Amino acid sequence: MSKYFGTDGFRGEAGITLTADHAYKVGRFLGWYYNALRERNGDTDPARIVIGKDTRRSSYMFEYSLVAGLTASGADAYLLHVTTTPSVAYIARVDDFDCGIMISASHNPYYDNGIKLIDCYGEKMPEETLLLVEDYIDGKLHVFDKNWSELPFAHREHIGCTVDYVAGRNRYISYLISLGIYSFKGVKVGLDCANGSSWNIAKSVFDALGADTYVINNQPNGTNINTNAGSTYIEGLQNFVVEKGLDVGFAFDGDADRCLCVDEKGIGYAKTAVGDKYVYEYMAKNGCRIGDEQSGHIIFSKYASTGDGILTSLKMMEVMLAKKKPMSELAAPLKIYPQVLENVRVTDKKAAQNDPAVQAAVKAVAEALGDTGRILVRESGTEPLVRVMVEAPDHNTCQKYVDEVVNVICEKGYKA
């Protein structure tokens, strides 16, 4: 079980639980490890690692720390600068990089940040590699049949170089544009960029496809990412679409791997989702074309190996134009049950979720709901929280059952 890397990378409050020293060590290990793998295959060229970041103030600090670690270990660092998570995954795959790194805490507040590691296939880094990174951070690395108390530094001509690779980001934009099979001419589209990674990408794509594009929250200043903006605050886009008389709206999160859709009436109707490595692993194993999770990602495996908010918005536009129907009409058959979600801050999220009394309470709720609803209790991958969600035909039923489970968690002494 990973100590630092959760379901969405190594995430924490910048300068407190995730520091520049952590980033430097991640870079040191990855640069050394991928060079070692190349050498074992008879390849003397330096490892190539591509890095992207979102608009948080701390992202530059982590970028420079990662680059220092990578180049000190003899790897070359290619910088995409401010870009989206799916763009890093795309470039890592198509441009034959050893791995990719995205600096972002996704939908979290600006003071959080994260380091997401992506393999050469554009997928989330395998668990066994993440565990090696963690072992190096903790000073107990054992790999290649040897204990490594410290890693060797590169010297002379073997020190890595840094490459400005904004061309890679432009290549990703061109790829998205190439997926458009319909002209968006005459369609008024609203985009909420969350003052995050999509601020200088999404509008370029929609403009190139002919849309009349209206954008909000596209002026990042380092501290306003996700603040009353983007997929975590859909109300802003709802109001914007109605006020401007737009045909449709799309809201992205901080690193633009999520997309929420708003129809022309301002009704948020669907949380498209993917990104979690477990969803993608299942899709790959079973040959699925589309996979999602409610948190706000969707994977189209034909076009991408990760959730991609801008790609999702393009596919939604494609359906509207193909069916010649507005979003509200397309969404009309969808019945959404009320949900109540409560995040409980706990002292030990694994112990709380695995407690027999808590599990018994969850089971009792599931049996009471039967086929009329569902309960989902899970630990946050990035925060000390247990999330309790109930979906049922009415709000009062949802709240009642959420309270029952939360009360047990508190009674057992897990609440922080």
Question: Catalytic residues, which ones?
Answer: 106
* One-letter identity of residue 291: G
> Between the CA atoms of 365, 367, 368 and 373, what dihedral angle is there, to the nearest 10 degrees?
80
Other Cβ atoms less than 10 A from the Cβ of 322: the count is 10
Q: Residue 91 has which token pair?
A: 């470039």
d(CA 285, CA 128): 19
The string over 145-154, giving b where at least 16 C-beta atoms fall within 10 Å of a residue's C-beta and e elsewhere, is eeebeebeeb
Contact assessment for residue 26 and residue 68, using Cβ atoms and an 8 Å cutoff: no
- The H or E element containing residue 292 is strand 290-293
Q: Around 199, how many Cα atoms within 13 Å sit in the side-chain half-sphere?
A: 23
* One-letter identity of residue 136: Y
Cβ neighbors of 283 (< 8 A, separation 6 or more) are: 289, 291, 299, 301
Q: Around 18, how many Cα atoms within 13 Å sit in the side-chain half-sphere?
A: 30
Which residue stretches of 59-146 are H helix?
Answer: 59-72, 85-94, 127-137
Cβ neighbors of 34 (< 8 A, separation 6 or more) are: 47, 49, 75, 98, 99
Strand-pair category, 48-53 with 99-103: parallel
Cβ neighbors of 128 (< 8 A, separation 6 or more) are: none
Q: Residue 12 has which token pair?
A: 């924490």
Radius of gyration of the chain from its Cα atoms, rounded to whole angstroms: 22
User: Can you say how many angstroms the Cα of residue 12 is from the centroid of all Cα atoms in its chain?
Assistant: 14
